[in-house]
Chains A and B, each alone.
Chain A
Amino acid sequence: MQTNFFNIYLHYFKNYYRSKSFYLILIIVALASFLMSYLTFKYSNRVSEMLPSRLISLSRVNSELLMMYLWAYIMSGLPVFASVFFSSPAISSEIEMRTGYFIFSQPVDRTVLVLAKYFAAVTVTIISLLVYLFSEVFSIIFVYGFIESDQLFWSTAMLILFILALTAFTFLLSSIFNKNLYAYITSFVVYFVIFYAVNLILYLLYDYNAFFLLNNAATIIERVYININPTIFTNNFSLNPAGLNDIVLSSVVFIIYTIVCLVGAIVIVENKEVQ
């Protein structure tokens, strides 16, 4: 099983990293890296002054931490695009592009196929984001002379868990559809409309922070620097980094999403017919 898994993993990994989608994501990530590097180099000392009055208390935070928060804020959005590009068509394309006739008639369990493709998609997503991460580390160290390595570690760890959860989530959506376009649209709509709408409604109507939503949990990537959740409207925030409880809570949400969505995707693919 291990041999088959690795063989299938490599097979999909090669097909992913040679694809146009991969280079498109690299360009988007490179562009984001360039813009953030520009901000860091040009406005490193004045970033606190540029904050809106509502967030004026943030000026008490050291500008290096604030800058890393901003880097992480942008970072938490990038996996959504990368995952959707790589994972939304993961299963649906096997049907639409007719590669399913080949792959699903191979002597290998479909569970192994799904898991191997899943980890291949996770790998290329992480690789594409490395450009951004390296740019962040380089820019911060170059401008400030040091980096908050503990927070960077937690932010990166949370980012990886987020990628695992998001990729599993898009795999699940992809396994439902037989057309790539439906999978792409549904992934974007669910993440950017449904999740945000549910979050907003629950917060405004019930003053309830929907921690279980993927977009909400993803804010931990930047909250390990300064504990401000950008997805809810509140003046109650902490200038301290998010605590261990917050990290554990978000990690649990990511892990549950990963397991539930992967199991769901596997069950659907096991019963999927190639038409």
Chain B
Amino acid sequence: MEIKFENIVKNYGKFRALGPLNLTISQNGIITILGPNGAGKTTLLKVLVGLAKPSEGKIYVNGKDFQNSRKEILQKMGILVEQPEFYPYLTGREILEFTGKLKGLWGEDLKKEIQRVSEITGSVDFLDKKVGKYSRGMKQRLGISVALVNDPPIMILDEPTFGIDPLGSLEIREVLKNLNKNKEKIILFTTHIIEEASYLSDRIIILESGLIRSDTLNDSDYVLIKVTGNLTNLENYRGITFKKLSEDQALIRIKRNDLPHFNREITHNNEIMFIERSSQVEEAIRELSNH
């Protein structure tokens, strides 16, 4: 499978929410779109699944233009965009039956598939309750179940752990990790949680103000380091590129060759480096730049 964004631009009135953006995703695995709120992550996914129309550019999935082959492409996708809402007077099972039938599943196959996806997401217990009585976390689990129906080769997940309690978030991360075990799917997901991105991702794309700022596929000479602490007065420290995600979180892009020199506090995981619980970011950066 291949997803290709070609010169995609999305404007809302005069405001440019996205682009111009060129991106090709051709390798299976978990590809994370990471960025602060308002970076354009959700807009990118909405454009990809047809919930918003690009102002310019085209999207191709397996070489097919999305605009011309929308239905066929959506058959291959499992989608969870934004925090989903479902019809309040229907049960979770009815929602899954509905989705399954639209994807061509009927009878026993459909029943088995509903059982499979609800076991994966831990939603078996509340599947026969009406959705109107669901908590935010239950809806989120149902949303992931919907995306999993019929085991699609492409999964589009927008902040899948949003609204789920910490333990539930860990479970969902494990679900995604397991789905990616054999690298049989493209799982494109967005998050603003760096730990989540680093734990799950095969590739991280950082989006800021609607533009790609960094892509681990293209930046193989560099790695990203997360720093936390008081960053108010830090914009550019000793020439190190500094991407602020919030007032107390930032990403630093450093040369991969420099990695062995770094302090033991830094943990290594999937090419992403972390300085966890560092309250003194200046010290951390000093450490980095001293080596």
Q: A residues engaging B (CB < 8 A)?
A: 3-4, 7-8, 11-12, 14-15, 18-19, 97-102, 104-109, 271, 273-275
Which residues of chain A are near B75, meaning CB under 8 Å? 107
Beyond A11-B98, A98-B85, A105-B77, 9 additional pairs, beta carbon < 8 A: A7-B98, A11-B87, A15-B90, A97-B85, A102-B85, A102-B95, A107-B103, A109-B71, A273-B51
**A98, B82: Cβ atoms under 8 Å?**
yes
Q: How far is the CA of A3 from the CA of B98 in the complex (A)?
A: 11
Distance (Å) between the CB of B79 and the closest chain A CB? 4
Distance (Å) between the CB of A2 and the closest chain B CB? 12
Interface positions, chain B 71-101, Cβ under 8 Å from A, are 71-72, 74-75, 77, 79, 81-90, 94-95, 98-99, 101
Closest 8 CB pairs of A and B: A18-B89, A107-B74, A98-B85, A107-B75, A274-B51, A15-B87, A105-B79, A7-B101
**Size bracket, chain B contacts:** 20 to 34
Q: In this complex, what residue of B is CB-closest to A273?
A: B52
Q: Is B167 part of the binding interface, using a Cβ–Cβ cutoff of 8 Å?
A: no
Q: How far is the CA of A271 from the CA of B130 in the complex (A)?
A: 31
Distance (Å) between the CB of B147 and the closest chain A CB? 10
Distance (Å) between the CB of A274 and the closest chain B CB? 4
Which residues of chain A are near B130, meaning CB under 8 Å? 18
Which residues of chain B are near A101, meaning CB under 8 Å? 51, 81-82, 84-85
Which residues of chain B are near A18, meaning CB under 8 Å? 89-90, 130
**A107, B51: Cβ atoms under 8 Å?**
no
Q: Is B49 part of the binding interface, using a Cβ–Cβ cutoff of 8 Å?
A: yes
Distance (Å) between the CB of B203 and the closest chain A CB? 23
Which residues of chain B are near A14, meaning CB under 8 Å? 89-90, 94
Q: How far is the CA of A18 from the CA of B88 in the complex (A)?
A: 9
Q: In this complex, what residue of B is CB-closest to A4?
A: B102
Distance (Å) between the CB of B97 and the closest chain A CB? 9
Which residues of chain A are near B71, meaning CB under 8 Å? 107-109
**B102, A107: Cβ atoms under 8 Å?**
yes
Q: How far is the CA of A18 from the CA of B90 in the complex (A)?
A: 8
Q: List 19 A-B contacts (CB under 8 A).
A: A3-B101, A7-B102, A8-B98, A11-B90, A11-B98, A14-B94, A15-B87, A19-B89, A97-B85, A98-B84, A98-B85, A100-B51, A102-B143, A104-B51, A105-B50, A107-B75, A273-B53, A274-B46, A275-B52
Q: How far is the CA of A8 from the CA of B99 in the complex (A)?
A: 10
Distance (Å) between the CB of A189 and the closest chain B CB? 27
Which residues of chain A are near B94, meaning CB under 8 Å? 11, 14
Distance (Å) between the CB of A154 and the closest chain B CB? 35
Pick from B81, B84, B102: contact of A108, CB under 8 Å: B102
Interface string of B116-155 (1 = CB under 8 A from A): 0000000000000010000000000001001000000000
**B86, A99: Cβ atoms under 8 Å?**
yes
Distance (Å) between the CB of B37 and the closest chain A CB? 16
Q: In this complex, what residue of B is CB-closest to A104?
A: B51
Q: Given known contacts A11-B90, A107-B102, is B85 in contact with A274 (CB within 8 Å)?
A: no
Q: In this complex, what residue of A is CB-closest to B76?
A: A107
Distance (Å) between the CB of A232 and the closest chain B CB? 42
Which residues of chain B are near A3, meaning CB under 8 Å? 101
Which residues of chain A are near B84, meaning CB under 8 Å? 98, 101-102
Distance (Å) between the CB of B165 and the closest chain A CB? 21
Which residues of chain A are near B90, meaning CB under 8 Å? 11, 14-15, 18
Q: How far is the CA of A100 from the CA of B83 in the complex (A)?
A: 11
Q: How far is the CA of A61 from the CA of B98 in the complex (A)?
A: 54
Q: How far is the CA of A8 from the CA of B101 in the complex (A)?
A: 9
Interface positions, chain B 166-199, Cβ under 8 Å from A, are none
Q: In this complex, what residue of B is CB-closest to A22?
A: B89
Q: How far is the CA of A102 from the CA of B103 in the complex (A)?
A: 14
Distance (Å) between the CB of B279 and the closest chain A CB? 38
**A104, B89: Cβ atoms under 8 Å?**
no
Distance (Å) between the CB of A123 and the closest chain B CB? 15
Distance (Å) between the CB of A114 and the closest chain B CB? 15
Distance (Å) between the CB of A176 and the closest chain B CB? 18
Interface positions, chain B 37-81, Cβ under 8 Å from A, are 46, 49-53, 71-72, 74-75, 77, 79, 81
